[in-house]
Structure 1
Amino acid sequence: MAIDWTMLGLGALAGALASALFFAGLAWGMRLALRARHPLPVLFLSGVIRIGALLAVGWLVAGQGAASLAGFALAFLVVRFGIIAFARPRSAHEAA
């Protein structure tokens, strides 16, 4: 079985960009919701836009082949774990 490394890399690049925008949108939506008088519509609209955009980009990437889709998914997971590690509050033991 041959792997198309170019398509895997392009899918990973698309996945990294899409996930960075996804989580930036999540952060922005949360900030807006925390300041809003009625946060539910803000959270709902943010979620619909982010999920729809991610699915649209994923659909386009999937049309390029399995290697692209694998790179996209792998990059999304890597960026997700990186952002969670960065955003997680430190415990008092880790800060010292």
Structure 2
Amino acid sequence: MIGLDWTLTGLGAFLGVLAGAAFFAGLAWGMRIALRRARPAPVLLLSAGLRIAALLAVGYWVAGEGGTSMLLGFAGGFLVARVCILMLARRPVPEEAARWN
């Protein structure tokens, strides 16, 4: 049976949540900038490239520092952040309150 270092797994999960939050914050920021432009494609491509490169760099560092335990925690933390952010993004818009007059 393979031993799992829970300390490294937890640290990896924490780093994964931070990386996920930064990834999707960068996505939101890039979309806001791109939607104000006449030609949004260059902004979106640059944003995607930077976000993907940063996520891969952090993932590579995590894999090198903590091995499999930390990498599994990192991936799990990223997925948790992704699910939470999608739940926030997909919530229904509250309807305007009915007027009394």
The verdict on a shared fold, with TM-score over 0.5 as the criterion, is yes
Shift of 1:37: 1.4
Shift of 1:53: 0.1
Residue by residue, what CA displacement relative to the aligned partner does 1:62-87 show, whole Å, maximum 9, x if unpaired? 11210000000001001101100100
SS at match of 2:4: coil
- Tell me whether 1:78 sits opposite 2:72 in the alignment: no
SS at match of 1:65: helix
Query: Residue type matched to 1:51 in 2?
Result: I
Aligned to 2:70: 68
Equivalent pairs, count: 92
Aligned to 1:27: 28
Structure 1 residue runs without a partner (length 5+): none
Query: Residue type matched to 1:19 in 2?
Result: G
> Structure 2 matches for 1:4-43, cutoff 5 A?
4-43=5-44
Shift of 1:90: 1.4
Query: Residue type matched to 2:49 in 1?
Result: V
User: TM (normalized to structure 2)?
Assistant: 0.87
Residue by residue, what CA displacement relative to the aligned partner does 1:3-49 show, whole Å, maximum 9, x if unpaired? 10110011011101111000000000000010011100000000000
Between the aligned partners of 1:11 and 1:87, the Cα distance in structure 2 is: 25
Q: Identity rate of aligned residues, in percent?
A: 58
Query: Residue type matched to 1:21 in 2?
Result: A
User: TM (normalized to structure 1)?
Assistant: 0.91
Between the aligned partners of 2:62 and 2:43, the Cα distance in structure 1 is: 28
Query: Residue type matched to 1:52 in 2?
Result: A
Shift of 1:89: 4.2
RMSD: 1.3
Moved beyond 4 Å, runs of 4+ = none
Structure 2 residue runs without a partner (length 5+): 95-101
**Which entry has the higher C-alpha Rg, 1 or 2?**
2
